Amino acid sequence: MKPFVLSFKAACLATVLLTPLAQAEPLKPFTYQDMVSLDRMSGLTLDATGRYAAFQVRATDLEANRGVTSLWVKDVDHPQTVEYRLAISDGGAFAPQWGRDGALYFLSARSGSVQVWKTDLKGTKATQVTDLPLGVGSYKLSPDAKGLIVSLSVFPECHTDPEGEIGCTLRREAEQKASKTSGVIYDRLFVRHWDEWKDGTRNHLFYISFAGGEPLALTGGFDGDVPSKPFGDESEYSFSPDGRRVFFSGRVAGQDEPRSTNFDIYQIDLVHPQDIAFNPNLLRAVHLTNLTEANKAWDTGAVVSPDGRTLAYRAMKRPGFEADQFGIYLKDLVSGETRRIAADWDRSADSLEWSEDGQSLFVIAQDVGITRLFRIDVATQTVTPLSASGRIDAFAQKDDGFVFLKNSLNRPAQLYRQAPRDMFIDHEPQAMTQINNDVLHNRTFGAYEQFSFKGWNDETVYGYVIKPANFIEGKKYPIAFLIHGGPQGSFSDSWSYRWNPATYAGEGFAVVMIDFHGSTGYGQAFTDSITQHWGDRPLEDLQKGYAHALKAYPFLDADRACALGGSYGGYMVNWIASQWKDPWKCLVNHNGVFDTRGMGYATEELWFSEWENGGDVYNHAENYDKFNPALHAKDWSVPMLVIHSDNDFRVMPEQGIGTFTALQMNGVKSRMLRFPDENHWVLKPHNSLKWHQTVFDWLKEHTEAGQ
């Protein structure tokens, strides 16, 4: 399939359309201060009539140094109407879901802990739905409107306690709070995960009947988290259309949790087979079945067809590999027969949703630097792309098309509507909402363009170049060479609130980004190629891509260039500091790997490090040393800014400290920015401002930008 390429001309036009036709003065460049202050849209849900879309908007409260989320509604059948904020948001509201009863459900901590609440279309009154002694982590409404599922954090061994998981958990928490010791005993890993120390609790599911009664434990005794930690949500569990069965994806922890990616899909029958009348008072989970036990890799995202017969889900093939391709599988819930569909489609499905007629699946997947919506015909297995540019964040079906949230390199998410369903790849949709327009209509962005070149193994590699805002033809500009993390990730046509190229363009830099071998969205073989090759194949792509960009875009000033990266991108910054240092006036390393051996011993998700290095560190140390930046630190000479956070348990703080120590002891000009209250990312508003100001000061100091 030929990739969609956005030209400079088209990008410029897209930017101009955000502004009035007549401008007395040049527009101000979009800056990182603007980015931090923008409202962030997410959580799209469409009511049963297909007319009203609800979504959440996270505003930034700089004084309180936090985000504040509110609920908004848009009448999508009348685009001329303006979206409106619901008054119930004043008490705190997030995670909206329309119910079959016409109510808008949401989560709120207004009662003292996070519980499920509901309101109506006007949003003037909030009614509490759950009143549990534990806070709700996530929820999903039953399609029969008789109840809902919530996830709660409980001690799984409490399943056999007479007080049940909830009561026993409350008692144990009270005992821990009253204890005068802070010592914690561990018998197995994880000891810590992402940014929190493990406390022995697990996410478990409970069914709440609207008819009353005690919460029904659905996963009692299950030795694992549902939804998974740290990023799992309600997409990991679902109902059958009749509300009588629940499906969830879960991993049994055991002693091997840090090495295992073996998530299976389980089925729970919510009602006794003899209970034909479905009496809520007799409701109980009578059977738990592992539907995908044969596959020892990752199974997730189960959704049942409208007729209740077919389960669609996503599955990987290789155990221990988190970046394997998610293929699409169908399981007949009557016969048990399972088959893969669209097996020749070399893309990894990020999500699945059945069409209302059950004839198709709608899939979001990365594709050559774009995150598209696709339609897969179940009978013919034909895959049809439905979107042309940017990133589809979320979508909902209407009788005559879709509503969806979409963003791009020069536009944060907005709500769109498009019809008919199979046509909007040829017709760029217009935004229906005006979130952030008060800021964006006064800002200009740098035009961007996707390019390609021959990289490692003479294979085609893609990248993006972004012009500085208010670009002047004939002028040369300093370069910010951004290197993405993952490493199985992508710098695609999408918006970010962390590594956002538009902020570099706003500061007067031209941006070059390469989706090197190992990146996602270009086929599984392309993604696989980085395994055990962190330091050679991607480096070759970066070198060839940079050379191509310098030749193709004369406004790039090779004498004023800095390279920046986070996570794996930070690793690569440490690697090129010895292996490819000549082009760079400065480097920026955010939470990057310094010592691959140390990473192999101390990171939490061991499957990642062991897969990428071909084995564990104590039996295969030579694999870890092959591309170990720490072994070449003596050759460093390029000035480097090091950024690291204390609560990053993926790439531990010692990795950043080690980097800075090596720089300082070698006499290399260097600076370190430490965040004691952040994780692998920098999330607090003022910390984000500090991050960007420090980075841009460093870049300008070494490239003399603006002179």
The 10s digit of each residue's pLDDT in 17-48 is 344 444 457 899 999 999 999 999 999 999 99
* Angle, CA 597 vertex, CA 592 and CA 600 arms, to 5°: 80
Name which of 324, 319, 142 is nearest 216 in CA terms.
142
The pLDDT assigned to 14 comes to 40
- 518: buried, middle or exposed (CB in 10 Å: 19+, 13-18, 0-12)? buried
Name which of 303, 292, 298, 290 is nearest 238 in CA terms.
303
The answer to whether 201 and 154 are in contact (CB under 8 A) is: yes
Answer whether the bond into residue 516 is a cis peptide, omega within 30°.
no
Convert the pLDDT of each residue in 51-76 to its tens digit: 999 999 999 999 999 999 999 999 99
Q: For residues 76 and 355, give the distance between their C-alpha atoms in angstroms, rounded to a whole number.
A: 20
Please give the structure tokens belonging to residue 152. 């709660």
Please give the structure tokens belonging to residue 258. 């840090």
Cβ neighbours around 133 below 10 Å, total: 11
Starting at the edge strand found earlier in the chain, the sheet holding 640-645 runs 448-454, 460-466, 510-515, 477-483, 556-566, 586-590, 640-645, 670-675
Q: What is the mean pLDDT of the chain?
A: 93
Q: For residues 466 and 450, give the distance between their C-alpha atoms in angstroms, rounded to a whole number.
A: 9
The pLDDT assigned to 704 comes to 85
The answer to whether 706 and 700 are in contact (CB under 8 A) is: yes
Single-letter amino acid, residue 256:
D
Convert the pLDDT of each residue in 284-298 to its tens digit: 555 789 999 999 999
Specify the DSSP class assigned to residue 156: G
The pLDDT assigned to 284 comes to 59
Helix and strand counts by DSSP (H, E) for the chain: 13, 39
Active site residue 648: yes
Confidence grade of residue 426 (pLDDT, cut at 50, 70, 90): low
The pLDDT assigned to 419 comes to 77
The pLDDT assigned to 288 comes to 87
Convert the pLDDT of each residue in 462-501 to its tens digit: 999 999 999 999 999 999 999 999 999 999 999 999 999 9
* Domain 440-597+640-657+669-703 in CATH 3.40.50.1820: yes
The pLDDT assigned to 286 comes to 57
Residue from 151, 348, 492, 567 carrying the catalytic annotation: 567
Residue from 648, 670, 688, 702 carrying the catalytic annotation: 648
pLDDT at 705 over 70: no
The answer to whether 120 and 137 are in contact (CB under 8 A) is: no
Confidence grade of residue 15 (pLDDT, cut at 50, 70, 90): very low
Cβ neighbours around 601 below 10 Å, total: 14
Convert the pLDDT of each residue in 195-228 to its tens digit: 999 999 999 999 999 999 899 999 998 999 999 9
Q: What percent of the chain has pLDDT over 70?
A: 93
Q: Angle at which helices 537-552 and 568-579 pack, to 10 degrees?
A: 80
Specify the DSSP class assigned to residue 259: G
Residue from 680, 688, 692, 702 carrying the catalytic annotation: 680
The pLDDT assigned to 422 comes to 58
The answer to whether 101 and 145 are in contact (CB under 8 A) is: yes
pLDDT at 16 over 50: no
Averaged pLDDT for residues 427-440: 89
Confidence grade of residue 421 (pLDDT, cut at 50, 70, 90): low
Active site residue 193: no
Domains of the chain by residue range: 440-597+640-657+669-703
53 CB-side CA count, 13 A: 31
Q: Residue written as tokens 């006064």?
A: 442
The answer to whether 243 and 99 are in contact (CB under 8 A) is: no
pLDDT at 99 over 50: yes
Q: For residues 547 and 559, give the distance between their C-alpha atoms in angstroms, rounded to a whole number.
A: 13
pLDDT at 352 over 50: yes
345 CB-side CA count, 13 A: 24
Map residue 281 onto helix, strand or coil.
Answer: helix
**Range 93-123 burial, b when 16+ CB lie within 10 A, else e:** bbbbbbbeeebbbbbbeeeeebbbbbbebeb
Q: What percent of the chain has pLDDT over 90?
A: 90
The pLDDT assigned to 415 comes to 97
Specify the DSSP class assigned to residue 6: -
Q: For residues 595 and 629, give the distance between their C-alpha atoms in angstroms, rounded to a whole number.
A: 6
pLDDT at 277 over 70: no
**Rounded to two decimals, what is the model's pTM?**
0.94
Distance of alpha carbon 82 from its chain centroid, rounded? 29
pLDDT at 374 over 80: yes
The pLDDT assigned to 663 comes to 98
The answer to whether 8 and 660 are in contact (CB under 8 A) is: no
Active site residue 228: no
Convert the pLDDT of each residue in 236-268 to its tens digit: 999 999 999 999 999 999 999 999 999 999 999
Distance of alpha carbon 42 from its chain centroid, rounded? 12
Averaged pLDDT for residues 314-320: 98
Starting at the edge strand found earlier in the chain, the sheet holding 264-269 runs 237-239, 245-250, 264-269, 287-290
Report CA-CA distances (Å) from 378 to 301, 308, 362: 17, 15, 10
Parallel, antiparallel or unpaired: strands 264-269 and 287-290: antiparallel
Map residue 587 onto helix, strand or coil.
Answer: strand
Name which of 117, 106, 149, 111 is nearest 133 in CA terms.
111
Please give the structure tokens belonging to residue 390. 């940017």
Cα dihedral sign for 8, 5, 529, 642? Answer: positive
Q: At a CB cut-off of 8 Å and minimum separation 6, what does 148 contact?
A: 105, 116, 129, 130, 139, 140, 141, 142, 207, 208, 210
Q: For residues 491 and 666, give the distance between their C-alpha atoms in angstroms, rounded to a whole number.
A: 33
The pLDDT assigned to 575 comes to 98
Averaged pLDDT for residues 94-119: 98
